[in-house]
């Protein structure tokens, strides 16, 4: 298996040539994020991922996590504890956290880059700090000062980890069905009782304490999503005693075997309210965009790693001759990269990965602007874009990232199917990213049922305006027409939705998935026009990367439009086909 | 996990209502294959698969095969030996084999049905008799009488098993690179020396002997695919002594963990020539169509099993309310089958599976006609169709079958990702079917580079003629126009290929994959028109199945065309885009 190398050139190209993310340092609160600092951080992140996390990825998959029913303890794979310590001691757990609690306060954009690398190098180990990050956000945004002072410093330093306890056996998507109860104690705390499932890092041996963020219902709570509150429940209490929250077992999964996925039993465990009573879901929603964008990045990171492996394989593997005559006459056969059909699998990967990176990082950049830009109008504009881009980044990058890995595996033939090369693990590990943090079908419903409607329905217009503005910066490309056609298709689709879905919500729900795909490939088509233009500029003389870097980018752009444009009319046709063929079935006709 | 139930109604509908396979009994050699007998055999096959093979599928995956380096022995999972014995003692290993050697001489079509069930119930265990079947075919067709008498009876009865030893570390697709040598012994046998990899059932504990069919080179053989010969190499020799062919280890794979995938070391092992010297690849080719169709069936069988599980899950799982109001007002939530986006995932599976079943069984029927029809012209006509349908069945059913399972998994959310439900195993197990017996890219090259050209180029015309003839039987359907549009697109694509690919083979190779997809969905579009018409006839009063069976079929037909027609123009556009965006890359621009 070839070693993972972080794609630093492409990351820096997107950050500094495409997004001009050096501008972040002009924003109060991000003064430290100078271009030099960001470049240095990326280089350090690459070293950590390449030399510490990647080497224990395959062994972590083989060994998996194990559970001791006597002690309720969970053992993570060999080497995970040491690697986690290097990760936390390097300050990576607190990269974007509030400096008041020991964080570095750097832009989220940098964290996206870090997480892309982590998901390439070792998807499973990345889950532990990933969930801590969610807990840090929840506490920072919603807890009172006492809880913040008490829990944030150790969460930020990584000495403790965090979890998000939402799902129960009878409810995943529909959190209104939660039955975990929180009964008030005399001292202002609560006693939590219930069972949570699929809790990432619910138990592990990496940290001395685990801080659970738990959705539960107060005794008098309404029986709906408006009756859910958020609680902080530490594994170890202040006085060093064990809080009665125990792991009841581990899930056995298709992938991410190095990540412990726990059944958690709360047996009257002591917790404290975070945020207001019955407003727990709202607290979750404020973190949701960042979390979902991060899941999209998982799809990208896994795809990047698979691409590297398959590209290396296709350059090295000698098999058959080119149909146009020997290309490697001194060898017994040609490298399989000469074959058009193999190139099809490589070009598809490259066209996805590099476009997706631009799309995701741009969204991360908007996330940072939405948090800290001094101008409230700019913050609002950026937040509008984050709102509508979030389901696209989450679903498109994980769906297409999975297909990209599938192409990597296929290009390698039987080798791809064996554990020796690591691509099959990337496929298994990344499968979950299409499901958690809201399945990709839920993302599509979020787009059509929520994001098109909120804020007086201005988000789709904000999307189209932003995309057209981006296109005006792409002066050295011949693909403006293609991107325009995509944008027009989005407008046509929105017209159909406007005419049909508001009177019949099933029409919107039926159109949701193709609509999300149409929005996503449209965004990709805009970013590819921008990338193509920047590559032309780089080739024209000012670029800091190699000529093949730029010319490869241009060729990937050409292939992107070749494979994408036929999809656009197909999605539009599917949207217009409406709900009929779906709803016509009675349940027993399936 | 719901229990697998063989889809007997749909199988019988395709066999007897659509294909009118009762006509097989009119063909000399198939007199025993009366409709009653075939129905009874299907019922028995269902019982065996449901009650013997399916229950040890998940445990076989978890346990896998194990290897003892001291003895070179391989242990298959618990229960496999007993299940294999029931399988062979039931006569299933010899279902289609020559009665002269103890077989039942029944049509291959029945074997397709059996194998679909096996791949639904327990993909891994099916690999062992599957490879024996290949060995039986090779020996039956190419070995001399002495070898046949000596080896066939025990292979047919299943007392012994067979393997196909082709791949070596340096060659998979390109068998010209084989280095295993066969040196003549004084007694007319040969001594084989070399290493073969990825040998299914190369070693196991199910049978007392293993008969390896091995490709190797004679000392004076030309250094190309024209210098390969086929040999029969038993594990245990006639006199009971151990032939020096040893398993050197097992592959660790993404799936089919219950199937042993062996490195086989031939250390001067004694073997006998099968067929003529240097004609080994030709011997392989005569078995290839049947083997590839069988692999296509694997994609279908795995998809059927996943569909059953996901459908059951979506009917039972209560989560959220229908967007058009509660459908299950007495429950806390509605079953998720009410949601349009969930129905999209179910309808896509049904539209694939039922169309694919008709397409594959029809091809199997042609295979039987090509073998035994008394009229040589009919045999030739049927064989032309088998030739061109084989790459379609192999590649389309495995590619789309995999996507179908992917939809099943996705519809189940987090449950799909856990091992509890079995869908993730079906996804992992079936992944190999897109790779072995020639990767699906190789199937596409077989179509464009071979099947369009052989026999004076008459095969594509034979395909179109047969499809149009099938359409004339579909009088009760409104989808003739759609199928016609697909057929016209195939003709346009063939025109483009004719103009471009013969002068520039890279153009053909670049078009191969979309061309195969276009042929495949076209065949599916014809079969769906036929299925829809037969369903209308059934509803009109003469049918032996339930009304929901027929009306469900009609609704699946409608959904099939909804999702398929947009693809057709996309494939055509992709073909016409030619090789440029693929070949433009220099190797280091990827």
Digit-coded pLDDT (tens) for B384-432: 999 999 999 999 999 999 999 999 999 999 999 999 999 999 999 999 9
Q: What whole-number distance in Å separates Cα of residue A138 and Cα of residue A131?
A: 11
For B507-511, what is the mean pLDDT?
98
Give, in degrees to the nearest 5, the angle at Cα B434 between B428 and B439.
140
Kindly tell me if the per-residue pLDDT of A1 is higher than 80.
no
Structural tokens at position B465: 């003629």
Pairing of strands A261-274, A245-250: antiparallel
Q: Do A253 and B424 touch (CB under 8 A)?
A: yes
Given a cut of 90, whether residue B498 has pLDDT beyond it is yes
Q: Does B403 touch chain A (CB under 8 A)?
A: no
Return the structure tokens found at B362: 């029809």
Chain A residues within an 8 Å CB radius of B401 = none
Angle at B475 between CA B473 and CA B479, to 5 degrees: 105
Using the predicted structure, report yes or no on whether residue B111 has a pLDDT greater than 80.
yes
Spatial contact of B416 and A435, defined as CB atoms under 8 Å apart? yes
pLDDT at A160: 98
Are the beta carbons of A410 and A395 closer than 8 angstroms? no
Residue A77's pLDDT band, with cuts at 50, 70 and 90, is very high
Chain B positions in Cβ-Cβ contact with residue A252 (cut-off 8 Å): 418-420
Contact B213/B266 with Cβ under 8 angstroms? Answer: no
- The whole-angstrom separation of Cα A179 and Cα B51 is 38
Q: Tell me whether strands B209-216 and B160-165 are parallel, antiparallel or unpaired.
A: parallel
In the predicted structure, residue B455 carries a pLDDT above the cut 90: yes
Question: pLDDT band at B542, cuts 50/70/90?
Answer: confident
Task: Please report where in the chains the tokens 């964290």 appear, as a residue.
Answer: A111
What percent of chain B stands above pLDDT 70? Answer: 100
How close does chain A come to B55, measured CA to CA in Å? 19
Q: How many angstroms separate the CA atoms of B427 and B415, rounded?
A: 14
DSSP-assigned states of every residue in B546-569: -HHHHHHHHHHHHHHHHHHHHHHH
Query: Residue B223's pLDDT is what?
Result: 87
B223 or B197, which is more confident: B197
Which pair of tokens denotes residue A492?
């046509």
Beta-ladder partners of B318: B335
Alpha helices by DSSP H, listed for A317-375, are 340-372
Q: How far apart are CA B64 and CA B124, in angstroms?
A: 10
pLDDT in tens, B323-360: 999 999 999 999 999 999 999 999 999 999 999 999 99
Which band of pLDDT confidence, cut at 50, 70 and 90, is reported for residue A496? very high
d(CA A85, CA A83): 5
CA-nearest residue to B563 within chain A is A574
Q: What stretch of H or E contains B213?
A: strand B209-216
Q: Alpha helices of A255-320 — where are they, by DSSP H?
A: 280-316
Residue B546 near residue A535, CB atoms below 8 Å: no
Please tell me the total number of residues recorded for chain A in this structure.
590
Distances (CA, A) of A264 to A229, A254, B370, B438: 18, 20, 61, 47
Pairwise CA distance, residues B29 & B105, whole Å: 7
Quote the Cα angle for B573-A520-A164, to 5°.
145
Instruction: Say what the pLDDT of residue B224 is.
Output: 87
A116-137 pLDDT per residue, tens:
999 999 999 999 999 999 999 9
Picking from B140, B190, B184, the residue whose alpha carbon sits closest to that of residue B162 is B140
Residue A29 CB: number of other CB atoms within 10 A? 17
**Model confidence at A286, in pLDDT bands (50, 70, 90)?**
confident
Share of residues in chain A with pLDDT > 90 (%): 97
Task: Report residue A550 as tokens.
Answer: 């730029």
Among partner residues B252, B563, B585, which is closest to A419 by beta-carbon distance? B252
Say how far apart CA A297 and CA A401 lie, in whole Å: 9
For residue A223, pLDDT beyond 80: yes
Decide if pLDDT at B1 tops 90: no
Q: How far is Cα A87 from Cα A127, in angstroms, rounded to an integer?
A: 13
Q: Pick the catalytic residue: A203, A377, A437, A492?
A: A437
**How far is residue A32's CA from residue A53's CA, in Å, rounded to a whole number?**
27
ipTM of the complex: 0.97
**How far is it, in rounded angstroms, from Cα A174 to Cα B430?**
32
CB A522 within 8 A of CB A310: no
* The pair of three-digit structure tokens given for residue B572, joined into one six-digit string: 């055509």
Tokens coding B100: 């002269």
* Tally of CB atoms within 10 A around B474: 21
CA B234, B235, B241, B242 dihedral sign is: positive
pLDDT reading at B469 higher than 80: yes
SS3 state of residue A294:
helix
Question: In A, residues 494-513, which contact B (CB 8 Å cutoff)?
Answer: 504-506, 508-510, 512-513
- Selecting from A333, A440, A555 the residue whose C-beta is nearest the C-beta of B589 gives A555
Q: What average pLDDT does this structure show over A43-60?
A: 98
| Chain A neighbors of B512, CB-CB under 8 A | 340-341
Q: Which residues contact A72 (CB under 8 A, 6 or more apart)?
A: A203, A246, A247, A248
Instruction: Tell me the C-alpha distance between B447 and B350, whole Å.
Output: 27
Element (H, E) at B210: strand B209-216
Q: Which chain A residue's Cα is nearest to B253?
A: A418
**B273 pLDDT higher than 90:** yes
Encoded tokens for A227:
């009756």
The CA distance from B590 to A261, in Å, is 37
Q: Do B251 and A580 touch (CB under 8 A)?
A: no
Give the pLDDT band (50/70/90) at residue B286: confident
Confidence tier at A139 by pLDDT (50, 70, 90): very high
**Contact between B482 and B494 (Cβ < 8 Å):** no
pLDDT of residue B468: 98
Q: Which helix (H) or strand (E) holds A161?
A: strand A160-165
Chain segment A537-581, per-residue pLDDT in tens: 999 987 899 999 999 999 999 999 999 999 999 999 999 999 999
Count of all residues that appear for chain B in the document: 590
User: Tokens standing for B299?
Assistant: 């994609």
Banded pLDDT at A343 (limits 50, 70, 90): very high
* Nearest chain B CA: its distance from A432 CA (Å): 7
Q: How far apart are CA A464 and CA B352, in angstroms?
A: 36
Identity of the residue in B319, B342, B344 whose CB atom sits nearest the CB atom of A172: B319
B40-91 pLDDT, tens per residue? 999 999 999 999 999 999 999 999 999 999 999 999 999 999 999 999 999 9
What is A63-105 written as a DSSP string?
H--EEETTTTEEE--TTHHHHHHHHHHTT-TTTTS-GGGT---
Is residue B171 less than 8 Å (CB to CB) from chain A? yes
Tell me whether residues B409 and A427 touch, CB distance under 8 A.
no
Mean pLDDT of the A191-202 span: 98
Distances (CA, A) of B188 to B185, B216, B219, B272: 6, 16, 14, 8
Chain A stretch 314-333, residues whose beta carbon is closer than 8 A to a beta carbon of chain B? 315, 318-320, 322-324, 332-333
Q: Cβ(B203)–Cβ(B247) under 8 Å? A: yes
**What 3-state DSSP class applies to B335?**
strand
Residue the block writes with tokens 């780089």: A538
Q: Alpha-carbon dihedral of residues B105, B106, B111, B117, nearest 10 degrees? A: -120
Q: Do A590 and B337 touch (CB under 8 A)?
A: yes
Q: In whole angstroms, give the CA distance from residue A336 to residue A414.
A: 14
Cβ <8 Å between A590 and B346: yes
Chain B interface test: which of A306, A323, A433, A450 (most B C-beta within 10 Å): A323
- Cβ contact B585–A347 (<8 Å): yes
Chain A, window 247-266: residues with a beta carbon less than 8 angstroms from a chain B beta carbon = 251-255
Q: Scanning every residue of chain A, which has its alpha carbon at the shortest distance from the alpha carbon of B548? A: A589
Distance, in Å, from the CA atom of A152 to the CA atom of B429, rounded to the nearest integer, reads 45
Name the nearest CA neighbour of B266 among B209, B213, B325.
B213
B228 burial type by CB count under 10 A (0-12 exposed, 13-18 middle, 19+ buried): buried
For residues A524 and A490, the answer to whether their CB atoms sit within 8 Å is no
Per the prediction, chain A carries an average pLDDT of 97
Q: CB of B401 within 8 Å of any CB in chain A?
A: no
Distance from C-alpha of B578 to C-alpha of B511, rounded to nearest angstrom: 6
Q: Within 13 Å, how many C-alpha atoms sit on residue A190's CB side?
A: 24
Mean pLDDT rounded to a whole number for chain B: 97
Q: What is the DSSP string of A380-426?
A: HHHHHHHHHHHHHHHHHHHHHHHHHHHHHHHHTTHHHHBTTSSHHHH
Rounded Cα–Cα distance for residues A251 and A198 (Å):
7
- Among the listed residues A254, A411, A568, A401, the one whose alpha carbon sits nearest the alpha carbon of residue B439: A411
Cα separation, B581 vs B579, whole angstroms: 6
Nearest Cα of chain B lies from the Cα of A169 at a distance, in angstroms, of 10
| Residues pairing with A249 in the sheet | A263
Question: Residue A285: which pLDDT band, with cuts at 50, 70 and 90?
Answer: confident
Q: Are B357 and B364 in contact (CB under 8 A)?
A: no
Q: Is B428 on the interface with A (CB under 8 A)?
A: yes
> Which pLDDT score is estimated for A2?
79
pLDDT at B510: 98
State whether residue B178 sits within 8 Å of chain A by CB: no
pLDDT in tens, A364-418: 999 999 999 999 999 999 999 999 999 999 999 999 999 999 999 999 999 999 9
Contacts of B457 (CB under 8 A, 6+ apart): none
List pLDDT tens digits, range A432-472.
Answer: 999 999 999 999 999 999 999 999 999 999 999 999 999 99
Judged by CB atoms closer than 8 Å, whether chains meet at B509 and A439 is answered as: no
């Amino acid at each position: 298996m070839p070693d993972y190398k972080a794609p630093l050139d492409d990351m820096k190209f997107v950050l500094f040539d495409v997004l001009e993310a050096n501008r972040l340092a002009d924003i109060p609160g991000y003064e430290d994020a100078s271009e030099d600092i960001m470049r240095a951080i990326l280089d350090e992140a690459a070293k950590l991922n390449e030399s510490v996390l990647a080497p224990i990825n395959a062994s972590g998959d083989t060994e998996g996590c194990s559970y001791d029913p006597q002690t309720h303890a969970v053992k993570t794979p060999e080497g995970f504890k040491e690697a986690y310590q290097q990760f936390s001691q390097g300050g990576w757990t607190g990269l974007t956290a509030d400096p008041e609690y020991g964080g570095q306060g750097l832009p989220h954009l940098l964290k996206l880059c870090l997480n892309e690398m982590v998901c390439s190098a070792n998807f499973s180990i990345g889950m532990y700090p990933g969930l801590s990050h969610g807990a840090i956000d929840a506490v920072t945004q919603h807890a009172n000062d006492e809880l913040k002072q008490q829990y944030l410093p150790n969460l930020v330093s990584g000495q403790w980890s965090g979890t998000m306890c939402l799902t129960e056996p009878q409810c995943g998507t529909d959190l209104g069905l939660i039955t975990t109860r929180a009964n008030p104690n005399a001292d202002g705390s609560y006693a939590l009782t219930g069972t949570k499932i699929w809790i990432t890092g619910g138990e592990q041996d990496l940290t001395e304490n685990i801080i659970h963020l738990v959705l539960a219902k107060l005794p008098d709570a309404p029986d709906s999503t408006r009756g859910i509150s958020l609680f902080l429940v530490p594994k170890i209490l202040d006085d060093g005693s064990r809080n009665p929250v125990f792991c009841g077992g581990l899930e056995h999964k298709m992938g991410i075997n190095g990540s412990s996925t726990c059944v958690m039993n709360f047996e009257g465990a002591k917790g404290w309210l975070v945020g207001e009573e019955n407003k727990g879901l709202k607290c979750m929603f404020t973190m949701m965009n960042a979390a979902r964008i991060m899941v999209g990045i998982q799809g990208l990171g896994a795809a990047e790693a698979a691409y590297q492996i398959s590209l290396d394989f296709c350059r090295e593997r000698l098999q058959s001759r080119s149909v146009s005559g020997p290309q490697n006459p001194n060898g017994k056969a040609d490298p399989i990269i000469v074959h058009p059909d193999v190139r099809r699998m490589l070009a598809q990967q490259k066209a996805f990965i590099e476009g997706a990176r631009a799309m995701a990082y741009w969204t991360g950049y908007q996330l940072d602007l939405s948090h800290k830009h001094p101008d409230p109008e700019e913050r609002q504009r950026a937040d509008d874009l984050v709102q509508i881009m979030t389901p696209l980044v989450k679903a498109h990058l994980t769906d297409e990232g999975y297909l990209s890995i599938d192409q990597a595996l296929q290009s390698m033939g039987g080798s791809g199917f064996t554990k020796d090369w690591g691509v099959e693990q990337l496929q298994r590990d990344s499968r979950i990213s299409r499901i958690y943090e809201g399945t990709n079908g839920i993302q599509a419903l979020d787009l059509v049922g929520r994001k098109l409607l909120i804020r007086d329905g201005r988000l789709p217009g904000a999307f189209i305006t932003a995309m057209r503005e981006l296109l005006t910066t792409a002066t050295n490309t011949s693909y403006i027409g293609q991107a325009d056609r995509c944008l027009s298709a989005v407008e046509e689709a929105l017209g159909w939705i406007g005419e049909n879905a508001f009177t019949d919500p099933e029409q919107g729900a039926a159109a949701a998935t193709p609509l999300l795909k149409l929005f996503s490939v449209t965004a990709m088509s805009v970013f590819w026009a921008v990338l193509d233009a920047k590559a032309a500029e780089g080739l024209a003389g000012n670029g800091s990367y190699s000529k093949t870097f730029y010319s490869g980018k241009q060729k990937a752009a050409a292939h992107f439009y070749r494979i994408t444009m036929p999809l656009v009319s197909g999605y539009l046709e599917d949207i217009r086909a409406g709900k009929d063929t779906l709803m016509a079935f009675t349940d027993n006709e399936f």
